Amino acid sequence: ILMRSTPPPAKYGGRHTVTLIPGDGIGPELLNHVREVFRFSCVPVDFEVVHVNSAVETEDDISNAITAIRRNGVALKGNIETKHTMPPSVKSRNSVLRTSLDLYANVMHCQSLPGVQTRHKNIDIMIIRENTEGEYSSLEHESVSGVVESLKIITRNNSLRIADYAFRLAREKGRRRVTAVHKANIMKLADGLFLQCCREVASGYPDITFDSMIVDNTTMQLVSKPQQFDVMVMPNLYGNVVSNVCAGLVGGPGLVPGANYGRDYAVFETATRNTGKSIANKNIANPTAVLLASCMMLDHLKLYDYASLIRNAVLTTMNETRLHTADIGGQGTTSEVVQSVMRIIQSKGQLTSEL
Amino acid sequence: FCSSTWLKNAIQTVTLIPGDGIGPEISSAVMKIFEAAQAPIKWEKRNVTAIQGPGGKWMIPPDAKESMDRNKIGLKGPLNTPIAAGHPSMNLLLRKTFDLYANVRPCVSIEGYKTPYTDVNLVTIRENTEGEYSGIEHVIVDGVVQSIKLITEQASQRIAEYAFEYARNNQRASVTAVHKANIMRMSDGLFLRKCREAAEKHKDVKFTEMYLDTVCLNMVQDPTQFDVLVMPNLYGDILSDLCAGLIGGLGVTPSGNIGTNGVAIFESVHGTAPDIAGKDMANPTALLLSAVMMLRHMGLHGHAKKIEAACFDTIREKKVVTKDLGGNSKCSEFTDAICQRVKDMD
C-alpha cells in the first residue's frame, strides 16, 4: 500500500529488521513457516522476536514489544490471547499495542479466490476500520454494584482521519464507491458524528461515490448480495463484525491477511485475528493468511519483487485443491502447503537456499 | 412460557395491531388464514399511534394498553414513526410500555425459497432493554462524543434465564452466549457471568460461549452449527438481521417480544412498504410466521403446525406466490391458496 505518510524504516546493509511477535495458538508455528519461506527465498529481512506471555498480569512484555516496534517501525504478529481468568484491569494486549502505536487504520482486502469453493463469487471488498477508539476504548466502570457502564468514544479527529484514509486509499486503488457503515439512527450523537465526518471528507472526492448503510442491514446485504460492496469504512466494533462476515464469505480466517497502519508504524497479521487454540501444533492450520500478510509487509518495505514472488506462489498453491487445509475443505497439512510454496518459488529461477 | 393451561377449546382473545402501510392487508390475510384453520383466536383490533398525555409525555393510547394488559398476547404489523419533533420511535415506546425485555427470532430455512444457505435452524435471543441502546450520549467537549453502553446484573440474569427456559421449552439442545468480553472486560464480562450462572441451573441444556466475531465468521460459513444464541442488545440487533438474511430477509422472518407479567407481542419486522401498500402485492409470510410463533407460545401447537405447513407447502410449490417470493400472484391469491391447503388438511 503506497501511503506516503508512513516513512520507510531504516535499514542497515540493505537488510530490514522487523519485529516478530509469535503470540498464542497457531501464531508461533505459522510465523515460523514465514521465517522458513523468507530464509529460503533469501528475503533481506531479519526478525527480532519478542515474546508476549498472555498468562502474566504485568505489562512488561507488551511494553517491550511496543518499544521494539517503535525501533523497527514494522511488525508481523500472531494474536495474543486475552485470558478471562485475569481481572478486568488487564486489558487485551492486542488492543494496547494498537492504541499505543496509534495504528488507526485496520485494512482488509477481501477477494474471492478462484481455487476456493464458496457460496458467493466475485467478492472484492476493501474494509477500512477505525482501529483505536469507539467501543474498544476500554473505559469501563461499575458505578453501583451490578450496574456497569462501558464508554464508546467517537472523536471528530479520529473519524476524519479514518474517513480520509479510506478515500485516499479508494482513489489510489481506483475504486469507485465508499460506503460508511453506522447505526446513527440509534446512536445519534456518536455514529452521527462519525457519519458527518465521512460526509465532509467525501465532499473533497467528487470522483468517488459516497453512501451509507445501517450496520444490521449491511450484514443482511453481505450474506445475500456481497458483490454490491466496494470500499467500506466504519467505526471499530462494526469493523469487527463486517470484517469477520466478509472473511467468512471468501473462505474463512485462514485466507485473509490484515494490516494495521499508523502514521509512523505498520503491523501485519491475519485479518480476523484468531488464536486458533484448538488447532494449534497439529500441522493443520492454514498458513495462507499469515503468508499473505508477510507479503503485505514486504510491499510496505518496498521489497515488491519478493512480495510478488511469494504471493504468486501462495495463490498458485491455493488453486491446487489437493493441498487445501481442513478449514477450506481439504486434508492437506500446513507443511505440505509451505513446501509447495517454496517449490514454486524455486521453479521461478530465483536465488534460493537449500529446499 | 409455553403454557398449556389454556383449554384447547377456549377462545383466546389476542390484541391485533395492524400497523401502517401494508400492515392492514397482511393482518387481514392472517385473520383469514386463522379462520380457515379454525384457530380458537378472537382478534381485538387496536391502534397504537402515540398520543401526548397530560404533561406532554408521549404514550400509547389507553385503550390499546388496557387491551394488551388484559389479553397479554399481541400480534403487530409494521409501524411508521412520524417525523414530528420529539416523537419517540413507536417500537421503542411499545418496548418501554410493556417492558419487552427479550426479542426472539427463530430463523429456519424455508424450503422453496432458495438462498445460498440451506438447513439453517437457529434462534437469536436478544436483550432488548439496555446495552448499547441505552440512549445515553453526551458531547464531552466539541468533537468528542461519548455513548454509554449499560449492562446490569438484573437484565443480564433475566435474559440469560429466559434463553435457557426457551431452550428447555422448545427442545433446543444448546445455548451459546455471544460476547466481546476480551475487549469489554467488565460489561460483557458481567453478561457472561450471568449466562454461566443460568447455565448451572439448567444443566440439561448445553452451554457454550463464543466471541461475536467468531460467531459472524462461522455463521456465514456454516450456520448449522448454531442452535440458540443469547446476547446483549447491539450484537443481537446485528446478528438477528444477519440470520434473517441467511433465510431470505425480513419478509419471511418471524419475531416475538417477551415482556414481564406474561406479556408477549409477536411482530413482523419488515417495513411498512408504502410503495406497495393497498395494491394487494404484499407478502404476509413474516406476519403469518410470527402468528404461528404466537400460537406455539400459547400452547396451540396443533394449529401452529397446520398453518405453518400450509404456508411452507404453498411457498415450496411456487404456483401461487407473491412477487418477492418469485411468483406474480396477488397477496389475496397467496392467502387463499394457504387457506385452501389448511382446509384440505382437516
Q: Does A135 touch chain B (CB under 8 A)?
A: yes
The counts of H helices and E strands in chain B are 10, 14
Tell me the helices (H) and strands (E) count for chain A, helix number first: 10, 12
Q: What is the pLDDT of residues A68-126, one digit of tens each?
A: 999 999 999 999 999 888 888 889 999 999 999 999 999 999 999 988 999 999 999 99
CA distance B218 to A110: 16
Report the pLDDT averaged over residues B10-36. Answer: 96
End-to-end CA distance of chain B: 28
- Residues B6/B12, Cβ–Cβ less than 8 Å: yes
Domain residue spans of chain A: 1-111+256-348, 119-250
Summary mean pLDDT of chain A:
94
Question: Structurally, what CATH architecture does the domain formed by B116-247 represent?
Answer: 3-Layer(aba) Sandwich (3.40)
Predicted pLDDT at A1: 44
Q: What is the largest CA-CA distance in chain A?
A: 68
- Coil, strand or helix: which one is B238? helix
Give yes or no for B92 touching A (CB within 8 A). no
According to the model, what pLDDT value does residue A2 have?
47
Contact A186, B81 (CB under 8 A): no
pLDDT value, residue A355: 55
Q: What is the pLDDT of residue A4?
A: 46
Question: Smallest Cβ distance to A219: which of B116, B152, B241?
Answer: B241
Which of B41, B31, B109, B19 minimizes the C-alpha distance to B295? B41
For the ranges A67-76, B43-52, B223-232, the lowest mean pLDDT is seen at B43-52
Fold: same for A1-111+256-348 and A119-250? yes
Q: Are A260 and A103 within 8 A, CB to CB?
A: yes
Rounded average pLDDT over A268-285: 96
Query: What's the Cα-to-Cα distance from A344 to each of A37, A38, A179, A307, A309, rounded to whole Å?
Result: 11, 14, 38, 14, 9
| Fold match between domain B11-100+254-345 and domain B116-247 | yes
Residue B322 CA to residue B337 CA, distance in Å, equals 11
CA dihedral B89→B91→B92→B98, nearest 10 degrees, is 140
How far out from the chain centre does Cα B122 lie? 13
Q: Which amino acid is at A271?
A: A
> In this predicted model, what pLDDT tens digit does every residue of A246-266 receive, in sequence order?
999 999 999 999 999 999 999
CATH for the A119-250 domain, from 2.40.37.10, 3.40.718.10, 3.40.50.620, 3.40.720.10? 3.40.718.10
At residue A322 the predicted structure's pLDDT band, cuts being 50, 70 and 90, is: confident
**Residue B86 pLDDT:** 66
Task: Give the chain B residue whose CA is nearest to the CA of A276.
Answer: B214
Return residues 287-306 of A near B (CB < 8 Å): none
Q: Which amino acid would we find at residue A286? A: N
Instruction: Note which residues in 175-194 of chain B have CB less than 8 A from chain A.
Output: 180-190, 192
* % of chain A residues with pLDDT over 70: 97
Whether residue B183 and residue A95 make contact (CB cut-off 8 A), yes or no, is yes
Q: Are A63 and A70 in contact (CB under 8 A)?
A: no
Min Cα separation B22/chain A (Å): 20
Got the DSSP string for B118-150?
-S-EEEEEEE-SSEEEEEEEEEEETTEEEEEEE
Q: Of A222, A233, A212, A244, which is closest to residue A120 (Cα–Cα)?
A: A222
- Asked whether the beta carbons of residue B139 and residue A189 sit closer than 8 angstroms, the reply is yes
Cα of A303 to nearest chain B Cα, Å? 32
Least Cα separation, residue B26 to chain A (angstroms): 23
Provide the 8-state DSSP code for A308.
H
Cα-Cα-Cα-Cα dihedral sign, residues B61, B65, B70, B76? positive
Nearest to A252 by CA among B124, B121, B213: B213
pLDDT at A164: 98
- Domain locations in chain B as residue ranges: 11-100+254-345, 116-247
- The residues, ordered by sequence, that sit 6+ positions from A157 with a Cβ below 8 Å of its Cβ are B143
| Among B87, B130, B216, the residue to mutate for chain A (most A Cβ within 10 A) | B216
Give per-residue pLDDT as tens, B73-130.
Answer: 999 999 987 766 667 778 888 998 999 999 999 999 998 899 999 999 999 999 999 9
According to CATH, the superfamily of the domain at B11-100+254-345 is: Isopropylmalate Dehydrogenase (3.40.718.10)
CA distances from A115 to A121, A288, A295, A309 (A): 11, 13, 19, 18
Q: Compute the average pLDDT of residues B268-295.
A: 95
Burial class (CB in 10 A: 0-12, 13-18, 19+), A355: exposed
**pLDDT tens for residues B151-205?**
999 999 999 999 999 999 999 999 999 999 999 999 999 999 999 999 999 999 9
DSSP A110-163: EE--TTS--SS---EEEEEEE-SSEEEEEEEEEEETTEEEEEEEEEHHHHHHHH
- Out of A138, A189, A240, the one facing B145 most closely (by C-beta) is A189
A150 contact residues in B (CB cutoff 8 A): 148-151, 184, 186-188
Q: Which residues contact A258 (CB under 8 A, 6 or more apart)?
A: A106, A107, A108, A243, A268, A269, A270, A271, A272, A273, A293
Which residues on A lie below 8 Å from B137 (Cβ)? 187-190
CATH 3.40.50.970 correct for A1-111+256-348? no
Spatial contact of A41 and A345, defined as CB atoms under 8 Å apart: yes
Dihedral angle sign, alpha carbons of residues A271, A277, A280, A285: negative
CB A140 to CB B187 under 8 A?
Answer: yes
Helix (H) or strand (E) segment spanning residue B213:
helix B212-219
pTM of the predicted model as reported, rounded to 2 decimal places: 0.93
- Tell me what the mean pLDDT of segment B19-43 comes to: 96
Query: What's the average model confidence in pLDDT over A48-54?
Result: 96
